[in-house]
Structure 1
Amino acid sequence: MAVDVRTEIVIARPLAVVAEYAGDPSNAPQWYSNIESVHWQTPPPVALGSRLDFVAHFLGRRLAYTYEVTNLVPLSQLVMRTAQGPFPMETSYQWTAETEQSTRMTLRNRGEPSGFAGIAAPLMAAAMRRANQKDLLRLKSLLEPQ
């Protein structure tokens, strides 16, 4: 069973501010609660073909995986894929201007789990949705002026 989780939020900051911060994988540990570390295999900044090692904790497990950037449209979209870890996963970010001073960010995770992860896919999707909503709220709180 496939997992396809899409969450979004509007952040009261210009598109360039949101896209440049969220689109830099080095910032992921600051706004993703489950991501412990990011290590660049290729030199920054992010570009098509960039490879990054992530260490995360999810559903009580430590996960280590490598993402490769498969699509990059500056200030619009970033797509990363992995074939490692518990199941192949694609994570995508999309940014659209709501106004000159606000940005809609869409976060989408898609994958095709197998084995036990496949059986647990509905529970995994629900946990991902909760985590993603929490992470986007954290991103919003980091980027919006207080």
Structure 2
Amino acid sequence: MAIDVTSSIEISRPRADVAAFSADPDNVPRWYVNIISVEWKTPRPSRVGSRIAFVAQFLGRRLVYTYEIVEFVQGERLVMRTAEGPFPMETSYTWRDAGEGRTHMALRNRGAPTGFSRLVAPFMAWAVRRSTDRDLLRLKKILEVAA
């Protein structure tokens, strides 16, 4: 069973601000609840081909995985796929205007768990949705307080 979870939120900040902050891997530990740290495997800044290692704590386990940016249209869309890690995963962010000074952001996680993870995929999908919803709320709070 594949996991395909999309969450979205409206943030009272211009799209350029939301996209710049959320697309910067160095900011990820600030707004992703489960991400402990990031390590650039290629030189900054973010671009197609950039590789970034993430250390996460998820469902009581420490996970280490490396994402590669496969698509990046500044201010519109960012797509990353795991190059190394526990199971293949793709994460995408999209941003669009939602009225004056507001942004609609969607965050999608999809992948195909393997091995034992495959057996608990329905629970994992629920946990990913719960975590993603919390992450977006945290991002909203950070960005709206900074305004």
Matching residue of 2:75: 75
Whether 2:15 is the aligned partner of 1:12: answer no
Note the residue ranges of structure 1 that are not aligned, 5 or more in a row. Answer: none
TM-score, reference length from structure 1: 0.97
TM-score normalised by structure 2 residue count: 0.97
Q: Which runs of 4+ in 1 moved over 6 A?
A: none
- Equivalent residue number for residue 90 of structure 1: 90
1:99 deviation in Å? 1.3
Q: For 1:42-61, what aligned pairs fall within 5 Å after superposition?
A: 42-61=42-61
Q: Number of residue pairs matched?
A: 146
The equivalent residue for 2:40 is 40
CA RMSD of aligned residues (A): 0.9
Q: Distance in 1 between matches of 2:45 and 2:59?
A: 30
Kindly state the Cα deviation for residue 139 of structure 1 after the two structures are TM-superposed. Answer: 0.1
Q: For residue 44 of structure 2, what is the amino acid of its counterpart?
A: P
Q: How far apart, CA to CA, are the structure 1 residues paired with 2:117 and 2:145?
A: 40
Give distance in 1, aligned partners of 2:83 and 2:44: 21
The Cα shift of 1:85 comes to: 1.9
Structure 1 counterpart of 2:123: 123
Q: For the residues of structure 1 that align with 2:97 and 2:71, how far apart are their CA atoms?
A: 20
Amino acid at match of 2:133: Q
Match of 1:111 in 2: 111
Contact 1:48 1:69 in 2 (8 A): yes
| Inter-partner Cα distance in structure 2 for 1:41 and 1:85 | 14
User: What amino acid maps onto 2:94 in structure 1?
Assistant: Q
What's 2:64 paired with? 64
SS at match of 2:118: helix
Query: CA contact under 8 A between 2:68 and 2:83: conserved in structure 1?
Result: no
Q: Which amino acid aligns with 1:50?
A: S
1:133 maps to a residue whose letter is D
SS of equivalent residue, structure 1 residue 99? coil
Percent of pairs identical after alignment?
58
- Give a deviation string over 1:51-101, Cα, whole Å, max 9, x none: 001000000000001100000011000000014222100000000001130
**3-state secondary structure, aligned to 1:144:** helix
1:38 partner SS: strand
Q: Residue in 2 aligned with 1:30?
A: 30
Distance verdict in 2 for CA 1:83–1:119, change over 3 Å: farther
Unmatched runs of 5 consecutive residues or more in structure 2: none
